[in-house]
Structure 1
Amino acid sequence: MIDLDRVRADTPGCLEQVFLDSAGSSLPPEPVLAEVLGHLRREAEVGGYRAAAERGADLDAGYQVAADFFGCAPTDIAFTDSATRSWLLGMSAVPLGAGDRILVSQVEYGSNAIALMQRAQEVGATVELVPSAEDGSISVPALKELLDERVKLVSVVHMPTNGGLVNPAKEIIDAAHEVGALTLLDACQTAGQRRVRLDELGADLISVTGRKWLRGPRGTGLLVVNPVAAHRLRPPLIDQHSADWTGLGQWTLRPDARVHELWEYSVADRLGLIAALRYADELGIDHIQAAVVERAELLRAELAALPGVTVHDLGTERGGIVSFSLAGIDGTDVKKALLAKNITLSVGGPTGALLDMAARGLSQVVRASPHYFVSHAQLTRFVAAVAAIAA
């Protein structure tokens, strides 16, 4: 069980407002703030190089912290500056050529889809859609019908940006591996709110952000690289951190996942992300998942019971994103009205999940994402506010 009083005390920003935007950018707890602000002050005192050297052991230890959290070895972790960077580095490292096939789902994230289409166009590959099952998740039987030796990459969105659906990642990954395809799991919306472990899922690449459910700083992320697949990857960006220059026309790539890192990064933010990982690990990811799912399901039930409110979440298994709309009221107006009551959430337009939104005739959804630090009294306050707007 999570000590609600403790985590709320660690999160002063959640005390007065009802914060329901952890799917966007969550509220960092005090230990994360202490690391980031403390290191920035130290840089101002002695300079960035000396300050970083003082924390060298802590930065190195961060690889083990991340490895423990994501079920892998420290050598399988690459720290980055965002989920987007992590995903692009992973995708760009997958060898692709003319005639190759890339499979995506109906809930593919907009940024991912654009990058995949551009890469496919450049090399002569194709991007193809895997049909959804009746519950909205990726249809594993349909996926297996599409798989052959020309499929080189299967892009798996663990949870989409526009709803609480959780895709059956393990089944998808196992099916893709039967034909030798590489898998890239976008865990942007799941890491930090539910179990995401390499040793359980078996993905070849997992992209993660720090700012959402992990409650780390903005501008942080990581890429988990399966050592089984590492030799097949071709890192697109290398520098003197990811490779050794051994002579004119000669260099040697790092043998571990850090080949996907670049030398320059925000030391303060990385220390903050490491602190966020420690914080989540101390609470226990299974306890976090239970608390998030319970809050989200409570909201779905209570919102669906309100006249004029429609809940849009798909999936048999669902997580912490609750998507809904109010009849005849624009989502941005709902957001503004709630903000006036000190309730923070977000509105998703069509581009984040274009295929899914278009297929369901949705132009936008209001998105509430309650983390474990949101009290039940605050959830009641939120539902009452939505009821008042709907009325």
Structure 2
Amino acid sequence: MEQDRISMEELARYRKDTAGCQHVAHFNNAGASLPADVVVETVVQYLKAEAISGGYETEDLHTEKLEQVYTLIAELIGGHKDEIAICENASTAWTIAFKGLSLKPGDEIITSELEYVSNLLNLLDAERTGVKVNVIMNDEHGRFPLQALEKAINEQTKLIAVTHIPSSGGNMLPIEEIGSIAQKHRIFYMVDACQSIGQYPVDVKKINCQVLSATGRKYLRAPRGTGFLFVSKSAQEQVRPLLIDQHATSSISLEGYSLRPDARRYELYEKNRALSLGLGKAVEYVLDVGIGRVWERVRSLAALIREGLSGIPGITVHDHGDQLCGIVTFTSEAVHSRELRDKLAKRGINVSVGGAAATLHYMQRNGLTSLVRASVHYYNTEEEIDRLITAVKEITAELQ
């Protein structure tokens, strides 16, 4: 059953399937996860076939497999393949949907303090046209206040747009409850699931969202340069394609054209077919592992990191809220975040640094200019976590 825990035998197999696990303790999965070997091989073999047979000819031979990618993504998020568009990344997917909405001066958007910088830039751009953006701040316990959300809604509210899991924090927004409020008030609802897909079970029907954007390179373990956009069937007429070519149409003449009746109206014809197949193989891999089992292991490993870091003098863990994810953020009194990251890298341990701009409202409100981000995945081990904790303790002790 999916909810059974990943066994040590399975873990050994998943790590054997992943060449990077033999070389580094990788805690930068919120940046880009280590791909399974089969994902890499899928991309490489397709590129080799293109070099031998030609690009269009190779695509013709892989039509069925390329079509299957949409079906696999739909299965992962509980949607339909006609509601999926393949994009280069989550920012592209989110922007395509947002820019496709018919917002006008006087309309209002509600978002949260955890909104990602790419989305925030588009919201700031909308404000220049007379659209009002209302930012809901978390409470003192790091929880998103649903009552404040409902209170902020008025006749001008046309969109609720939130990021489920922030770039620089371990807390999570209650996207299902937010979706219920949006549905109750008949407000268009967009979810950025960039950090969610691949670590957390996401079901678009339970969330009641019209739009969901995601990337491949993070917890999904797909190649960089991949992502997808979900637009519900009922919302596709409300979201205009940002760019358009013949791929987006079902018919075209000198008198006009008709858009195709699915989410691929948001794609352009020319994309990297090898990366698309790699994305599909990564989705297939996580479906085989079981996303519920991935989530169970990710959050338990992240809890071990938080517990270990909290016991180190001068280290502050910054994750707050009712539900925490696989992203662990912390700062050191003894060493700057970037220096600590670099010193850990010399020990074969990958972490990343979250800058102030990534989640601007959150970082400014909490007086943070940077923090270390250690993001765990199911293929990480308890021994690797011990290495991380020991290394942070030794590095900070040397610089006290």
TM-score in terms of structure 1 length? 0.98
Question: Residue 98 of structure 2 corresponds to which residue in structure 1?
Answer: 91
Report the Cα distance in structure 2 between the residues aligned to 1:112 and 1:365, rounded to whole angstroms: 21
Question: Residue 247 of structure 2 corresponds to which residue in structure 1?
Answer: 241
Report the Cα distance in structure 2 between the residues aligned to 1:211 and 1:249, rounded to whole angstroms: 42
Report the Cα distance in structure 2 between the residues aligned to 1:159 and 1:279, rounded to whole angstroms: 22
Structure 1 counterpart of 2:66, from 59, 69, 76? 59
Q: Following TM superposition, by how much is the alpha carbon of 1:131 offset from its aligned partner in structure 2, in angstroms?
A: 2.7
TM-score in terms of structure 2 length? 0.95
Structure 1 counterpart of 2:385, from 349, 364, 379? 379
1:210 aligns with 2:216: yes
Residue type matched to 2:221 in 1? Answer: R
1:338 aligns with 2:337: no
Question: Residue 43 of structure 2 corresponds to which residue in structure 1?
Answer: 36
1:78-127 deviation line (CA, Å, top 9, x unaligned): 111111111111111221011000111111111110011113323x2111
Considering only aligned residues, what root-mean-square deviation do their CA atoms show, in Å? 1.1
Structure 2 counterpart of 1:8, from 12, 15, 18? 15
Flag the 1:139–1:249 CA change in 2: closer, same or farther, 3 A. Answer: farther
Q: Following TM superposition, by how much is the alpha carbon of 1:177 offset from its aligned partner in structure 2, in angstroms?
A: 2.4
Q: Following TM superposition, by how much is the alpha carbon of 1:63 offset from its aligned partner in structure 2, in angstroms?
A: 1.3
| Aligned counterparts, 1:344-383, within 5 A | 344-383=350-389
Report the Cα distance in structure 1 between the residues aligned to 2:110 and 2:116, rounded to whole angstroms: 13
1:327 aligns with 2:333: yes
Report the Cα distance in structure 2 between the residues aligned to 1:134 and 1:232, rounded to whole angstroms: 37
Residue type matched to 1:322 in 2? Answer: V
Report the Cα distance in structure 1 between the residues aligned to 2:173 and 2:332, rounded to whole angstroms: 26
Question: Residue 121 of structure 1 corresponds to which residue in structure 2?
Answer: 128
1:230-288 deviation line (CA, Å, top 9, x unaligned): 22222222110011452224010111111111111000000000000000000000000
1:75 aligns with 2:82: yes
Report the Cα distance in structure 1 between the residues aligned to 2:358 and 2:143, rounded to whole angstroms: 17
| Aligned counterparts, 1:158-177, within 5 A | 158-177=164-183
Structure 1 counterpart of 2:149, from 124, 143, 148? 143
SS at match of 1:352: coil
1:112-168 deviation line (CA, Å, top 9, x unaligned): 10011113323x211111132333232110000011221111111100001111100
Structure 1 counterpart of 2:314, from 301, 308, 318? 308
Report the Cα distance in structure 2 between the residues aligned to 1:271 and 1:214, rounded to whole angstroms: 13
Report the Cα distance in structure 2 between the residues aligned to 1:302 and 1:249, rounded to whole angstroms: 67
Residue type matched to 1:111 in 2? Answer: S
Gap runs ≥5 in structure 1? none
Q: Following TM superposition, by how much is the alpha carbon of 1:338 offset from its aligned partner in structure 2, in angstroms?
A: 0.3
Q: Following TM superposition, by how much is the alpha carbon of 1:315 offset from its aligned partner in structure 2, in angstroms?
A: 1.4
Question: Residue 24 of structure 1 corresponds to which residue in structure 2?
Answer: 31
Report the Cα distance in structure 1 between the residues aligned to 2:204 and 2:36, rounded to whole angstroms: 26
Report the Cα distance in structure 2 between the residues aligned to 1:273 and 1:285, rounded to whole angstroms: 16
Report the Cα distance in structure 1 between the residues aligned to 2:176 and 2:234, rounded to whole angstroms: 16
1:182 aligns with 2:192: no
Moved over 6 A (4+): none
Residue type matched to 2:102 in 1? Answer: P
Q: Following TM superposition, by how much is the alpha carbon of 1:14 offset from its aligned partner in structure 2, in angstroms?
A: 1.4
Contact 1:102 1:126 in 2 (8 A): yes
Residue type matched to 1:26 in 2? Answer: S
Contact 1:148 1:179 in 2 (8 A): no
SS at match of 2:190: strand
Report the Cα distance in structure 2 between the residues aligned to 1:207 and 1:332, rounded to whole angstroms: 29
Question: Residue 280 of structure 1 corresponds to which residue in structure 2?
Answer: 286
Residue type matched to 1:146 in 2? Answer: A
Contact 1:292 1:319 in 2 (8 A): yes
